[in-house]
Amino acid sequence: MPRPPRRRSGARAARTERHAPPERLQKVLARAGLASRREAEGWIRAGRLTVNGEPASLGMRVAAADQVRLDGRLIRQREPASGGAAFLYHRSSGERLDQAPDDAAESVPLLERLPRRAGRRVIVVSPMPRIDGGLELLCTDGECAAQLQRRVRHWPIAFSVRVLGELTEAQLAGVLGGALDSGAHLQVLGCEGAGGEGTNRWYALRARGASGKDVRQLFERQGARVSRVLRTQLGTLQLERALPRGHFRALAPQELARLLAPPESEAASDVGSGLP
């Protein structure tokens, strides 16, 4: 009796996988979402990794058919991830990814809601401080996450910052100056008022490569009392108003491709002020 076509297709896929060119062991582990390349190098030096029963060495290349073990446990190698391995998440202030947010409709933590095919390890690219929130970029592929992290400092990033009272002209000029405690300077692309209620005022700030910690420091150096920082734009990604807190969506392949593009090919234009 002839075999079903699906099994023949699977055999062809297996043959293709077996004949794929070997890759560095660190890259294989990073793509599996188990560790960064640097962490993998530490494991190799510590003698925790074996390939086909032999101790691994730095620079070693492995093929799909090789048996890689970490502390004796077999590691299942993964194919390069597609766009489904990256997600945009609207995080609530104070939320941990392994706990459900108090103010969101979802009662299940994010890590339990991601598709099973996404992988076991979730890496947050340039995470916001836990006290703050807004747009988070998640990746389940270690190699992809490392590439994105290297590109963050080139991206225009937008924040909504809530402070007590209105900034004076001198304070606003200080924010635009971009000076940090370390002596470094952020490239601030703009900062303007964005409304507010009562004694609180929102400001929309855009800066290249800024982290949430940088933004808090930027305002607090001018004597401003910051109560909340929300990230609303990260590179070419925008936090859509239609995405509630505690919800996520997978990035389309073309969205991930734009983020992974070399910095020289990225548009440096500012994008709107985002969500208050």
Cβ atoms of 185 and 267 closer than 8 Å: no
To which residue do tokens 């949430």 refer? 212
Identity of the amino acid at 268:
A
Over the stretch 128-179, which tens digit does the pLDDT of each residue have?
Answer: 999 999 999 998 887 888 889 999 989 999 999 999 999 999 999 999 999 9
If you average pLDDT over residues 227-250, what whole number do you get?
93
CATH 3.30.2350.10 domain span(s) along the chain: 156-234
Of the two residues 121 and 169, the one the predictor is more confident about is: 169
Task: Give the residue range(s) of CATH 3.30.70.580 domains in the chain.
Answer: 80-154+239-267
Of residues 241 and 20, more confidence is placed in 241
Superfamily of domain 23-75: RNA-binding S4 domain (3.10.290.10)
The whole-angstrom separation of Cα 205 and Cα 159 is 5
pLDDT tens string 40-55:
889 999 999 999 999 9
Copy the structure tokens of residue 251. 């990035």
Alpha-carbon span 232 to 271, nearest angstrom: 10
Class of domain 80-154+239-267: alpha beta
Give the pLDDT of residue 59: 86
Q: How far apart are CA 56 and CA 8, in angstroms?
A: 34
Residue limits of CATH 3.10.290.10 in the chain? 23-75
State residue 89's pLDDT score. Answer: 94
Identify which of 78, 68, 60 has the alpha carbon closest to the alpha carbon of residue 22.
60
100: helix, strand or coil: coil
Q: Is the pLDDT of residue 84 over 50?
A: no
Give the pairing of strands 61-62 and 23-24: antiparallel
Q: Is the pLDDT of residue 116 over 70?
A: no
| pLDDT at site 191 | 95
Instruction: Indicate the Cα dihedral angle 63, 64, 66, 69, nearest 10°.
Output: 110
**Which CATH code fits 156-234?**
3.30.2350.10
Percent of the chain whose pLDDT exceeds 90: 49
Instruction: Evaluate whether 144 touches 260 at the Cβ level (below 8 Å).
Output: yes
Q: How confident is the model at residue 13 (pLDDT cuts 50, 70, 90)?
A: very low
H or E element in which residue 6 lies: helix 5-18
Average pLDDT, integer, range 255-264: 84
In the predicted model, what is the mean pLDDT of the chain? 82
Lowest pLDDT segment from 66-80, 109-123, 144-158, 242-256: 109-123
Higher pLDDT, residue 215 or 65: 215
